[in-house]
Chains A and B, each alone.
Chain A
Amino acid sequence: MQPMSLSYSSTAPALVVDNLRKTYGNGVEALKGVSLTVQPGDFFALLGPNGAGKSTLIGILSSLVNASGGDAHVFGVSVNRQRNEAMKLIGLVPQEINFNQFEKPFDICVNEAGFYGIPRRIAAERAEKYLKELRLWDKARHQARELSGGMKRRLMIARAMMNEPKLLILDEPTAGVDIEIRRSMWQFVSGINAAGTTVILTTHYLEEAEQLCRNIAIIDHGTIVENTSMKRLLAKLDVETFVLDVTRVPDGLPVLPGVALRRVDEHTLEAEMARTHDLNSLFAALTAHGVTVTSMRNKTNRLEELFVRLVEQGRDKVAA
């Protein structure tokens, strides 16, 4: 027996969001006409500060929030008009823990599959497969409340995979998770993506988005302020700041055209320079001043720097 039959277009974009609006009952306008497209197989980052509208957008896509206007299509299937068909294609990993903590991980996964019409035998096989892949199999028969925070998050990923979705939406899945577990989660999700599942990710860990995602949209105040490929976005970063660890900061710093050199403390310098500027001349000038550089790093993550800049620009526009 096979699970529910699916009727979608395999050639259509994984997601088309068309002028989506949401005004809550208290008058808050969370989405002000959001439009974006995600191609099949993409690993797409949806970033934005708290309260920007990310969770509202995900809520509408997963039918937990009723849109005030506009529509979204998942592989050509309308979320508004063909809700049940569209939901068959989506797997959701929400921000908040939302399973019954008194149930067992195995039952949570099997029941989830049941809600999608997947027969129990297939559901049991899938539950075993995904709980094993997410290293939860030894806890499969324990009550979910006994799991650690990281395990609960992985359980939500396993649960979202039960219907083997074509579009997996992860809403801050690694919030509060330690680095080791976070990496194992990304390894799993990258594998799922490599196997063909389109992934949409929201996260506040921007280095994650930079490493994993190929395309990106930044949302703020309910509007998309940037929607491009990660490469193009990072190329927009025209100025970078480096932190240099040095043996000793001299009394007089060298003056270099195009480089703003600042003393942070006795053993640290900061160099702000255009991305096109070469580093050789900086090192040559420092060497000439008797300064030995022991290590160097970016002051902030590149995407983080752009993100802050874009969000600030957006706020300036709103203020104006």
Chain B
Amino acid sequence: MSNASANLVALNTIVRREIVRILRIWTQTLIPPAITMTLYFVIFGKLIGSRIGTIQGGYTYMQYIVPGLVMMSIITNSYGNISSSFFGAKFSRAVEEMLVSPMPNWVILTGYVAGAVVRGLAVGVLVLGIALFFTSLRIAHPAITFASVLLGAVIFSLAGFVNAVYAKKFDDIALVPTFILTPLTYLGGVFYSIQMLGEPWQAISRINPILYMVNAFRYGVLGISDVHVGWAFVVMLAFVAALAAFGLQLLKRGVGLRS
């Protein structure tokens, strides 16, 4: 058996184990985001949104926030999945099972990222399904829609992995989502168009990577965006490359994993 086939078996093992974990604790991994997003749709989309009327491109407020909320669910769940799963493995020392095996580092990283992406996309589909109870949507650009959710999920899976590697206690994996991820998400154009902001807030908003993900996805679904879609993909691909390289470097050096 070649090393390539062996690596494929190892990769499949990690992804399978992650999916089993997601399904084993589905009440923690799949249901809470569905409930949270239903509340967002009811409160912001229906109750408040009905008083706002149409927004950018003639879409209702409910239609406008659906892509942002779906993307928000995807990135927070991708991030949460990998940070808790990998840190849990570190905490229980089960990560040693992988570290003493002949698996290359890229297989470990890809396996965990794939598992996190699966959860992110599963939650995304669930939230999108719930959204269809409240409004109707027609996907304007399916390929862009899929590519943007995939890249968004990968970026935050990689970021969650880096967080888990550095984390020394469970509090450490809650710090980044609370103090960085949530503010960036809320300020990333989920609920509003940055065209509604004056300067310098519009310029400041453009530093936020989540803005590009939300808008790329919104462009895919609705055909409208605050940023150039090409730039959005450049930014997302750059983040994927940088975070993947960083994650692999951490594994190579054994930061937080090997003495």
Find chain B residues with CB under 8 A from A112 CB. Answer: 97, 101
Q: Flag whether B28 is at the interface (Cβ < 8 A).
A: no
Task: Please give, as numbers and ranges, the residues of chain A lying within 8 Å of B93 by CB-CB distance.
Answer: 94, 96-98
Interface 1/0s, chain A 88-129, versus B by CB < 8 A? 101010101111111000010001101111111000000000
Q: State the Cβ distance, A247 to closest chain B Cβ, in Å.
A: 55
Q: Which of A2-10, A269-277, A282-290, A296-304 touches B?
A: A2-10
Query: Is B142 in the interface zone, CB < 8 Å from A?
Result: no
- Residue pair B259, A64 in contact (C-beta under 8 Å): yes
- Is A117's CB under 8 angstroms from B258's CB? no
Q: Is B250 an interface residue (CB 8 A)?
A: no
Q: A193 interface residue, CB < 8 Å from B?
A: no
B177: Cβ under 8 A from any A Cβ: no
Question: Quick check: B97 and A4 within 8 Å, CB to CB?
Answer: no
List CB contacts (< 8 Å) of A55-100 with chain B: 56, 59, 62-66, 83-85, 87-88, 90, 92, 94, 96-100
Partner of A92, one of B2, B6, B9, B100: B100
At the interface, yes or no: A319 with Cβ under 8 Å from chain B?
no
A64-B10 contact given A4-B3, A59-B259, A117-B1, CB 8 Å threshold: no
- In the complex, are the beta carbons of B92 and A66 less than 8 A apart? no
Minimum CB–CB distance for B21 against chain A, Å: 8
Residues of B in contact, count (CB < 8 Å): 32
Interface band, chain A: 35 or more
The answer to whether the Cβ of A1 comes within 8 Å of any Cβ in the partner chain is yes
Question: Which of A59, A65, A115, A159 is the one whose CB lies under 8 Å from B10?
Answer: A115
Shortest CB-to-CB span from A106 to chain B, Å, is: 12
Residues of chain B with a CB closer than 8 A to A59's CB: 259
Q: A99-B97, A111-B17, A115-B13 are in contact. Are A84 and B102 (CB under 8 A)?
A: yes
B2 nearest in chain A by CB position: A5
A96 partner residues in chain B, CB cutoff 8 A: 93
B258 touching A116, Cβ below 8 Å: no
Q: Which residues of A contact B1 (CB under 8 A)?
A: 1-5, 117, 119
A92 to B28, CA, bound (A): 33
State whether B254 touches A117 (Cβ < 8 A): no
Q: A117-B1, A117-B102 are in contact. Are A98 and B94 (CB under 8 A)?
A: yes
A100 contacts across to B, CB distance below 8 A: 88-89, 92, 94
Judge whether B254 and A66 touch: CB under 8 Å.
yes
Is A24 positioned at the interface, with any CB of B under 8 Å from its CB? Answer: yes
Q: Which A residues lie within 8 Å of B89 (CB)?
A: 100
Closest 5 CB pairs of A and B: A117-B6, A114-B13, A115-B101, A98-B93, A84-B102
- A→B interface (CB under 8 Å): 1-5, 24, 56, 59, 62-66, 83-85, 87-88, 90, 92, 94, 96-102, 107, 111-112, 114-120, 159, 163
Question: Can you list 7 A-B contacts (CB < 8 A)?
Answer: A5-B1, A59-B259, A63-B100, A64-B100, A83-B102, A88-B102, A100-B94
8 further contact pairs, Cβ within 8 A, besides A98-B92, A115-B98, A117-B103: A5-B2, A63-B100, A84-B102, A90-B100, A98-B94, A99-B92, A100-B88, A115-B102
